[in-house]
Chains A and B, each alone.
Chain A
Amino acid sequence: MAGTPFRGRRYVVLLLLLGGFGVVLFRLVNLQVLQAAELTVKADRQHQKTVSLEGARGTIVDRHGKTLAMNVDVPSVFGIPTALDSPAKTARHLSPVLHVRSDELERKLRQDRSFVWLARKLDPEQGRRLEQMPLEGIGVVMEGRRFYPKGPLLSHVLGFAGMDGEGLEGLERRYESLLHGEKRVTVLQRDALGRTIFPKGLAEQSPSPGRSLVLTIDEVVQYIAERELEDAVARTRAKAGTVIVMEPETGAVLALAVSPRFDPNAVASLAADQWRNRALTDAYEPGSTMKAIVAAAALEERVMKPSTMVFGEYGQMTVAGTVIHDHDKLGWMTFAQVIQKSSNIGAAKTGMALGEQRLYRYLQAFGFGQRTDVDLPGEAGGLLKQPRDWGRRSLASISMGQEIGVTPIQMVAAIGAIANGGALMKPYLVSEVRDAHGQLLKQIKPEVKRRVVSPDTARTVTSILEGVVTGGTGTKAAIPGFRVAGKTGTAQKIDPRTGAYSSTQFVGSFVGFVPADHPRLAMIVVIDEPQGEAWGGVVAAPVFRRVGEQVLNHLGVPSSEPVKLVMASERG
C-alpha cells in the first residue's frame, strides 16, 4: 500500500501539467484562431506604416533651359496636442522659428485634436533650425513647394500652383495633367524603433514625378519686354499695358509681358485682377491698327491698289447721320497714304468698297471674334458681330477699328500672318514636354491655321506699313539699320458710366514686325489709359523700337540697312 500516496501525487502532477497545457492551448487557440483576424490588423498597424507619397511637380524652363518654376521639398510642421505637456512653452520655442505668433500657436496646440498643422511649406533654412531643437509632440514632414526663382518674371504666363500643389492659373493650370506628380499610397515596414525597413514587395518604386515643360519663351526677351513695358507704363502713368513678341514664321511666343506684374511666390495677398492675363482675357477696341488688316483685305480683293486715289473729304464725312473725323484736313491721297496717315475717312471708304460680307469674311479669316487657341487658360474670343447685327455705321466703324473687340494675342497673330507671307500661325507657348530625366516625350510643332492673303498681298501691305514707320504716324518705332513695318492705333475707351466714347480714356497701341524684308519678330504694344498724350505713335511706338532693337541684338540679327558711322570726335 506504500505506492498509493505516491501514485496519488503522480496524478496530481499529471493533472497540473495537463491543466497548464490546457490553459496554454486554450490561449493559443484563442489568439491564433479566434482573435487571429483582429490581432493581425493590430500587429500590422504597429510594424507597418502607410504613407501617402507624391511625385515632384514637373519643372518649367525657357527655350534655353533656364528654370522658371520648380519644386523643392520643404518642411511642414505639425503638432500632436494630446502628446504635449506644456503647450505654452512649446509655442514660445517655436514662434521665432516658424514666424508665427506665440499665442496663435498656443491656441492651435490647445485644441482637442491629435493632429494640427502649425506652419506649412517653410523655407529650407527654417527646417534646419527645427532639426536642432527636438520637441516632444511636434513633427516635421517634407512637402513639395513650388518656387518661381525669377520672381515676377513671366508671372502672368506661368500662373501659380496652390498649397496642395495643384495648378491654379496660367500654364500651371493649363498643363496641370502633365505637370503634377503621381500620387500613391505605399506601405512601409518598420522596426521596434519606428525606423523604416523596406517596402512590402521589393519592386516598389517611388511615385513618378510630373512631366517638365520647355517653353518657347526666351527669358532675356521676356525681361527686355517687361522692363520696357514697366518703364512706359510708369512714364505715361497708364493703368496697364501688354507687350507680346512672337516669331511670325512659327507662332512661337518669345515674350508675353503684362503690366502691372505680380510675384507668383506670394499670391496669397493678391486679388484676381492682378494676376489676370490681360494679353488674352481683355478685349479692347483696336482703333487704327485694324486698318492694316482692312488694307490687306482690300488689296487681296483688288478693290484697292497702293496707288488708288482716295478723297479725304478734308477731314469730315457723314455716315449714317454721324460725322467721321480725321485729325488732319486731308484731300486727295493714295491708298498707301490712307494707311500711312491713318485716315479714318479713307479706311471707312475702303470698308465700304469691300462691303459687309467680304470685310466680315476677312476679319474672321484673320482670327478675330474667335480664340487663337494659344495654350493658356481663360482666353477671350473678342467681339465680332455677325453682319446681320451690324448697324448702318458699322461698316465704317469696324474699318477704323471701332465696334470690334480684339485681344492683344489676336492682333499680334493677325499682323504675324502679314509678316509670314499671308499664312496665319497658331500662337503657342510650350514647345516640348519632357520627363523628369529630360527625355523628350512630345514636341509641339508650329501650326498653320490658314492662308488669309496671298504672298503678293502680304508683300504689298508690308511695304505700305513700312511707310507708316518711315514717314507716317509710327516714326518713333523706327530701328536704325532695320526695316520696320507697323501700324499705330489710338482708340477711345467706352466710358462704362455713360456708354459713350470717353474723351479722357484711351488705348494707345502699336503693332508691327521687323525686319520687314525677312521678319524675325512680330510685336504688339498696348498701353491702357495713358495720361497726357495718348497717341499710339507716342506712347506705344517707342516701346516697340526699344524692345525691337534690344531683342534683335540679343538674337544676333544682322542689320539689313546700311548705317553710316560718324565718329564722335568728327562731330566735335
Chain B
Amino acid sequence: MKLLMTVLGLSLVFVFVWERVDMVRLGYQIERLKQERTLLERERDELQVKLSALSAPDRIAKIASEQLGMSLPQQGQVIMVRSGPAIPVPPPADPIEVRVAKNQLSGGLR
C-alpha cells in the first residue's frame, strides 16, 4: 500500500514536470510557426506589390506601344454591337462614315 502510494505520488510529479516541459516545447514550436507565418505573409505582400506594379496600366501601355508595336484603335475601328433581341433604332439621317481596314472585317459582316 505504501509502495503504491509512493509510485502514484512520483508519477503525479512526473506528469506535472512532463506537462511543464511539453508546454515550453510547444511554446517554442508555436513561436517558430508564427515567425514562419510572418515571413510567408511578408513574402506574399511583397509579391502582391510587385504584381500590382507590374500590372499597372501605365507599364502595360508602354510595353504594348514601345516593344510590341501596338497602337490604340483609331476612331471608329472598334464597333460595339448588341447581342440578343434587337432594340429598335430610329431611322438614321446620315450615317457617320468610318473607315475600317479591310482585314478587320469578318466574312459575315461583309
Contacts and interface: CB of A to CB of B under 8 A. Distances in A.
Q: Do A and B come from one complex?
A: yes
Contacts of A72: 42, 45-46, 49
Contacts of B58: 150-153, 223
Interface stretch (A101-109, A347-355, A505-513, A562-570): A562-570
Contacts of B11: none
A549 interface: yes
Contacts of A561: 92, 95-96
Given A124-B46, A150-B53, A562 B95 contact: yes
Given A197-B28, A197-B31, A67 B52 contact: yes
Interface in A148-168: 149-153
A552 interface: yes
Contacts of A480: 75-76, 96, 98
A153 B47 CA distance: 19
Interface in B36-71: 38, 42, 45-46, 48-53, 55-58, 61
Contacts of B80: 481, 552-553, 556-559
Interface in A196-242: 196-198, 219-220, 223, 227
A282 interface: no
A563 B52 contact: no
B10 interface: no
B108 to A, nearest CB: 13
Contacts of A196: 31
Contacts of A153: 56-58
Contacts of A70: 45, 48-49, 52
Given A147-B49, A223-B61, A558-B81, A564 B98 contact: yes
Contact of A150 (B52, B97, B105): B52
A550 interface: yes
Interface of chain A: mostly helix, strand, loop or mixed: mixed
B4 interface: no
B45 A73 contact: yes
Contacts of A563: 76, 79, 95-98
Contacts, number: 115
B79 A559 contact: yes
B81 to A, nearest CB: 6
A357 interface: no
Nearest to A61: B52
Contact of A558 (B24, B55, B82, B105): B82
A562 B79 contact: no
Contacts of A571: 99
A71 interface: yes
B100 A568 contact: yes
B3 interface: no
Contacts of B38: 73
A566 B46 CA distance: 51
Given A66-B52, A562-B92, A565-B109, A553 B73 contact: yes
Contact of A567 (B45, B53, B105): B105
Contacts of A142: 42
A70 B49 CA distance: 7
Given A150-B58, A558-B80, A566 B102 contact: no
A385 interface: no
B74 to A, nearest CB: 10
Contacts of A152: 58
Interface of B: 24, 27-28, 30-31, 38, 42, 45-46, 48-53, 55-58, 61, 72-73, 75-76, 78-82, 89, 92, 95-102, 105, 109
